[in-house]
Structure 1
Amino acid sequence: MTSEQSLPVLNLERFAPNHPERDAALAELRRVAHTLGFFYLSGHSIPQERIDGVLALSRKFFALPEEDKLEIEMCNSPHFRGYNGPGLEYTRGQQDWREQVDFGANRDRLTVNAGDPPWKRLVGPNQYPTSLPELKPVIEQWIADVTSIGIRVLKAYAEALGQSPDVFEPIYAGGPNQLLKIIRYPGRDKTETDQGVGAHKDSGFVTLLLQDTGAGLQVDDGHGGWIEAKPVRGTFVINTGELLEMASNGFLRANIHRVVTPKAGTDRMSVAFFLGANLSATVPVLTLPDELQKQVRGVTQDPLNPLFNEVGRNFLKSRLRSHPDVAQAHHADLLAEQQKVAETA
């Protein structure tokens, strides 16, 4: 059931230190982040030509011959970077119907010794197709730009919670966790499922989603219905991640959302950026002002998807679950350990 409700639009410029509407903007962000957890962001300063260029280049990648896309197949990468065809990523055990490429911070692979935390395996280089050399500089610049916007949004969240704007800096300074996905949802007739991406929450600080003209994103309205988050030109869709829900003890809401597959003969493009904390960090629980503390709800606990305050442990868990083929190819020992824990629980 779809809802009549729509997502609000917040202008990033209103959060500037000397803006006359700053207090009102922070109050609005606090209300939206506490109740819905989703909004459109305008005023982010990225020109529309660059937005259009990133979407056009993403579409150019997906138009490559299959063998060119499979050159950077994710199964080649122990760091979960690269291309997946439709049906190779899973949400809550069900196949998502989309093709995508995952990129992160392009870093040297770490040496992982016995006894090191397993999340170190996630650090490493991206994969880029040789047949589309222009993709690498555009993707790496885009990651830098949306990281900057994400940190500005994160500072606004902090101030909306009555904190110093830099309260989260100790857990992202020196290398936040950055994940960028360019995504194409191929259209298909509804058969057993219309799952483009199954209902889920995002695990980081905030997500910045760029949509093309195709609809499909839906947000839980909290009353049994779904809000259609239709594309609004020149904006990002922002949503609160589980790191902020944990840090605020549930005052901020990491909301459930999904993507419905487009109709046969059409498709939908999006570019999603997930800003998280450093993989070595542990999420702190903030001391909130009394008036906000009275409204905390505690962190939502899902027995099928337990949350950990250790950032790297949380992120590795989600990658192993979402990409079982990569997990089996490169991290079978971790899967075996998980199975032992499950059997003794």
Structure 2
Amino acid sequence: MHIVTRPQLPVLDLSQLSGTATEQALFLQQLRHAARDVGFFYLVGHGISDQRQQQALQLAKQFFALPSAEKKAVQMIHSPHFRGYTGVAGELTLGQPDQREQFDIMREDIVSGLPESTEPWRRLIGPNQWPAAMPGFKDEMLGWQQQLSDLTETLLGAFMQALELPADALQSTIAAGPYQHMKLIRYPGQQASSSKQGVGAHKDPGYLTLVLQGDQSGLEVLTDNGWVGAAPLPGAFVVNIGELLELASNGYLKATLHRVTSPVAGIERYSCAFFMAAQLDATVPLLQLPAHLAAEAKGPASDPRNPLFYQVGQNVLKGRLRSHRDVAASHYADLDVAS
């Protein structure tokens, strides 16, 4: 097992948020500095048991161990909502294929946007695909996804408090439920003919990301000291900030480049990533930070006219179209994908 003994990223204990006033103040101070200086940290004390975490990873392993025909029956290309299975090299980051296979899940819903809709992003809304060979998989994964969503909502409120704002400062953007997107991921060992790009260097687009890792390392974060590893820490989630939250905080909260390097030949890496963002029809406010905090911001100042603030759904759709060109060609041929 590749277990980190001296983490190179901050370790924060969420249980302090419900502790004494001193503990709460310490946690918020640590959160503020980790979010401004690094944009990545380990989260412990979150209340989700190690048993529950391992159960989710085990279900991921069971899914990826299914026969190829079972996985292809739920391939993403069958879903205009970008849900389902993607094989190795089936998703692109910066135009290059990622060496991983994955299963994408979002909020289970009914179809909202017809192809002729004037708001194409509404086509993202709909049901997930589920493997017929795993009848209990749906309920387990939807329950797990909701647990992670609830945790990110708690974190989002804590970030607002760390910025000396009301905990519900962004509540209007998730009032109908935040945008949920979860990936179960398997990284195969490196092959002589393939690249080492498990996932290419990128920033996440939304508010917050939670990553649950198995035993194998591979996640790397770009810091002021170069690339550092975020090796698995038992019981912890890795948390990082997305570009939309960086934008809303006027550059105070930092969205950080990160990547995954494929494991060596003969080794597999499993993980579960959960991405939380504003609901797709939201208008995101530009938060007004206290002057002393605004002066500490390291990121670029935000322009309130930036369409990222009020075209949340359209920007999510653009990202999916760029990453999954086969789905774009099959279900979105009427759109200008490059726009």
Same fold (TM over 0.5): yes
Write the distance in 2 (CA, Å) between the matches of 1:52 and 1:145.
Answer: 14
Q: Which deviations, in whole Å up to 9, do the C-alpha atoms of 1:112-154 show, x marking residues without a partner? A: 3745211101000000000011211110100111111111111
Q: What is the distance in 1 between the residues matched to 2:145 and 2:194?
A: 36
What 5-or-longer segments of structure 2 have no aligned partner? 1-5
SS at match of 1:20: helix
Alpha-carbon separation, structure 1, partners of 2:107 and 2:145:
8
d(CA) in 1 for partners of 2:214, 2:103: 17
Corresponding position of 1:44: 46
Preserved contact between residue 176 and residue 277 of structure 1 (Cα < 8 Å):
yes
- The residue number in structure 2 matching 1:182 is 184
Distance 1:77 1:9 in 2: 38
Task: Determine whether 1:286 maps to 2:321.
Answer: no
Question: For residues 225-265 of structure 1, what are the alpha-carbon distances to aligned partners after superposition, in whole Å with 9 as ceiling and x for unaligned?
Answer: 21100000101000011111010111110000000000010
Report the residue type matching 2:291 in the other structure: D
Deviates more, 1:192-201 or 1:150-159: 192-201
1:292/1:132 Cα in 2 relative to 1: closer, same or farther (>3 Å)? same
The 3 A distance-change label for structure 1 pair 39 and 298 is closer
Where does residue 163 of structure 1 map in the other structure?
Answer: 165
Q: Are 1:308 and 2:308 matched, yes or no?
A: yes
Paired residues in the alignment total: 330
**Paired residue for 1:99?**
101
Q: Give the AA of the match of 2:237.
A: F
Counterpart of 2:25 (choices 20, 23, 26) is 23
Note the C-alpha offset of 1:22.
0.8
Map 1:65-76; keep pairs closer than 5 Å. Answer: 65-76=67-78
Change (3 A) 1:17 1:332: farther
2:216 aligned with 1:219, yes or no?
no
Matched, 1:33 2:35: yes
Q: Distance in 1 between matches of 2:72 and 2:131?
A: 9
Letter in 2 for 1:308: L
Pairs within 5 Å for 1:63-212? 63-112=65-114, 114=116, 116-189=118-191, 193-212=195-214
Kindly indicate whether the alpha-carbon contact (under 8 Å) linking 2:250 and 2:301 is maintained by their aligned counterparts in 1.
no
Counterparts of 2:73 and 2:201 in 1: how far apart (Å)? 30
The one-letter code sitting in structure 2 at the alignment partner of 1:238 is V
CA distance in 1 between partners of 2:78 and 2:324 (Å):
12
The residue that corresponds to 1:242 in the other structure is: 243
1:172 is displaced (CA, Å) by: 0.6
TM-score (ref. length: structure 2):
0.93
Q: 1:256 to 1:153 in 2, by over 3 A?
A: same
Q: Where does residue 3 of structure 2 map in the other structure?
A: none
Does residue 321 in structure 1 map to residue 319 in structure 2? no
Gaps of 5+ in 1: none
SS of 2:48's partner is: coil
Q: Is the 8 A contact 2:321 2:337 kept in 1?
A: no
The corresponding residue for 2:263 is 262
Which segment drifts farther, 76-85 or 276-285? Answer: 276-285
User: Alpha-carbon deviation of 1:283?
Assistant: 1.7
Give the Cα separation in 2 of the matches to 1:173 and 1:190.
49
Q: TM-score, normalised to structure 1's length?
A: 0.92
CA offsets 1:159-188 (integer angstroms, 9 cap, x no match): 111110011110011121000100000001
The answer to whether 1:252 aligns with 2:245 is no
Q: Secondary structure at the match of 1:138?
A: helix
| Cα distance in 2, alignment partners of residues 55 and 115 from structure 1 | 38
Change in 2 beyond 3 A, CA 1:257/1:165: same
SS at 1:149 equivalent = helix
Maintained 8 Å contact 2:206/2:276: yes
1:193, CA displacement in angstroms?
2.6
Q: Which residue of 2 aligns with 1:61?
A: 63
Q: Deviations over 1:196-222 (max 9, x none)?
A: 000000111110100000000000013
Query: Offset at 1:28?
Result: 0.9
Q: 1:300 deviation in Å?
A: 8.3
